[in-house]
Amino acid sequence: MALKPQPGIMDVSPYVGGKSKVEGVDRICRLASNENPLGASDAAKEAYQSIADDLHRYPDGGSYLLRSGIADAENLDADRIVCGAGSDELLGLLIQSYVGIGDEVVYNEHGFLMYPIGTKIAGGVPVKSAEKDLRIDIDAMLAAVTEKTRIVFLANPNNPTGSYVTEHELRRLRSELRGDILLVIDAAYCEYVDNADYISGASLVEENDNVVMTRTFSKIHGLAALRIGWAYCSTEVADVLNRVRGPFNVSLAAQAAGVAAIQDKAHIERSKELNSRLLNWFRQQVAELKLTTHDSVGNFVLVNFGGAERAASALEFLKNKGVLVRGMAAYGLAEHIRVSIGTEEEMRVVIDSLTAFTNE
Ligand SMILES: Cc1ncc(COP(=O)(O)O)c(C=O)c1O
């Protein structure tokens, strides 16, 4: 008899991350994964190195110091925080915990691919809700809900579109959803947003037992390699996650560097300032090339080439110049590419390469 994985698993198209190398090209601009171009803070690097003599020890399974560090920095309750190996792990654990075979998970049309992937792994059915002009449409999300819906996922801001849902709309979504549906707000990019009508979702978590906010150290904190994410949720959901997660799911190095990173407010501010300056500059330069970009409150932006073939040629052209950005076909946005905001020098290289491409 042949081995057979659980239903749904073979329907998964494995997640393909951003490229990091090009054969024969030395200087590479890595702008495909929304990483922090300044890297991690010096304090985080020092903390990472400081644990070298303890590598034979298991880490604290409850990530106590990391949870306390996050709670202090963000003014939250440490008992409602669960840390994970990247927010990816926590998104998957939430699905595993609340979604069974045949249950439905609603997510927005251009939402993060890990939502449908995690749902299929659990044997659930991913249900896409249409967006309007690359913005999440709360009415469409509510209309996609059925009696089988267990979770509604929403990234705010959304990757890859860069748009966001206002506090008012987010609250309306929660109040119009059934109480037995978990609302997961993936706030991976929230630190970049300054808009007055935006909230990360922490207050909604404190007001409702059925809301989870997920966060990451992979973006503004520049620690993608260490895989650190956290969920903010009710103590009941935290109890569930603590039962299903691995007992030592966050490494010692990750915990040490994470505490230092979240305390380094100057590095966070520097990273944010660089991003907003270069995002504006880049969009203006792209407009001069007669290409359109979409409003983005994240550390990335979609550039529209007006057609899938043109976008694919641009992707290839940029790759040959050592500029690695992300093709968007997997997100149903094949006429776009997504460019992460890098250093000033990197963004100039992208503009020079796009100029050469449009002049070809
Ligand atoms: C919206 C969104 N959520 C979650 C993640 C995963 O982040 P992590 O590195 O914490 O797993 C990403 C990474 O690109 C993302 O864009």
* Structure confidence at residue 23 (pLDDT): 76
- Residue 319, pLDDT score: 95
Residue with tokens 């979504």: 173
pLDDT at 6: 86
Å from CA of 72 to ligand 1 middle = 23
Evaluate whether 111 touches 144 at the Cβ level (below 8 Å): no
pLDDT at 190 over 90: yes
> How many A from CA of 310 to the centre of ligand 1?
28
Ligand 1 contacts CB of residue 90 (under 6 A): no
pLDDT tens figures, 60-115:
999 999 999 999 999 999 999 999 999 999 999 999 999 999 999 999 999 999 99
Residue whose CB lies within 8 A of the most ligand 1 atoms, among 156, 186, 232, for a mutation test: 186
Distance CA 202, CA 193 (A): 14
Torsion angle of the four alpha carbons 280, 285, 291, 295, in this order, in degrees rounded to the nearest 10: 0
Q: 61-74: per-residue pLDDT in tens?
A: 999 999 999 999 99
Atom of ligand 1 nearest to the CA of 158: 1
User: Which pLDDT does position 21 carry in this prediction?
Assistant: 75
Q: 340 in ligand 1 pocket by Cβ < 6 Å?
A: no
Q: Residue type at 177? A: L
Q: Is the pLDDT of residue 201 over 80?
A: yes
Residue 259 C-alpha to ligand 1 middle, in angstroms?
A: 19
Distance CA 269, CA 275 (A): 10
On whether the CB atoms of residues 131 and 140 are closer than 8 A, the answer is yes
Class of residue 20 by CB neighbours under 10 A (exposed 0-12, middle 13-18, buried 19+): exposed
Q: Map out the domains of the chain with their CATH numbers.
A: 10-39+266-359 (3.90.1150.10), 42-263 (3.40.640.10)
Please report how many Cα atoms fall inside a 13 Å half-sphere around the Cα of residue 359, on the Cβ side: 7
- From 88, 302, 338, give the residue whose CB has the most ligand 1 atoms within 8 Å, as the site to mutate: 88
For helices 235-244 and 86-98, give the axis angle rounded to 10 degrees: 100
Counting from 1 in the atom list of ligand 1, the atom nearest the Cα of 33 is 14
Backbone angles phi, psi at 92, to 5 degrees: -65, -40
Q: Could you tell me if the CB of 34 is within 6 A of ligand 1?
A: yes
Residue 183: pLDDT over 90 = yes
Identify the pLDDT of residue 351: 97
Spacing, Cα 34 to ligand 1 middle (Å): 9
CB burial of residue 240 (10 Å; 0-12, 13-18, 19+): middle
The residue nearest atom 16 of ligand 1, judged by CA position, is 159
Question: What is the arithmetic mean of pLDDT over 336-356?
Answer: 97
CA of 87 to the centre of ligand 1 (A): 6
Angle at 249 between CA 123 and CA 300, to 5 degrees: 75
296-342: per-residue pLDDT in tens? 999 999 999 999 999 999 999 999 999 999 999 989 999 999 999 99
How many angstroms separate the alpha carbon of residue 232 from the centre of ligand 1? 15
Span from the CA of 355 to the centroid of ligand 1 (angstroms)? 31
The answer, yes or no, to whether any atom of ligand 1 lies below 6 A from the CB of 107, is: no
Q: Is 18 exposed, middle or buried (0-12, 13-18, 19+ CB in 10 A)?
A: middle
Q: Which residues contact 303 (CB under 8 A, 6 or more apart)?
A: 286, 291, 292, 293, 314, 336, 337, 338, 339, 354
pLDDT for 17 equals: 74
Per-chain mean pLDDT for the chain:
96
Q: H helices of the chain, where?
A: 42-50, 64-74, 86-98, 114-121, 138-144, 167-176, 202-207, 235-244, 252-263, 265-288, 308-320, 344-359
Q: Over the range 70-109, which residues count as b (16 or more CB within 10 Å of their CB) and which as e?
A: bbeeeebeeebbbbbbbbbbbbbbbbbbbbeeebbbbbbb
Please say whether the beta carbons of 142 and 177 come within 8 A.
Answer: yes
pLDDT in tens, 229-254: 999 999 999 999 999 999 999 999 99
Q: What is the DSSP letter of 173?
A: H
Tens of pLDDT, residue by residue over 3-43, are 898 888 888 887 777 777 777 777 899 999 999 999 999 99
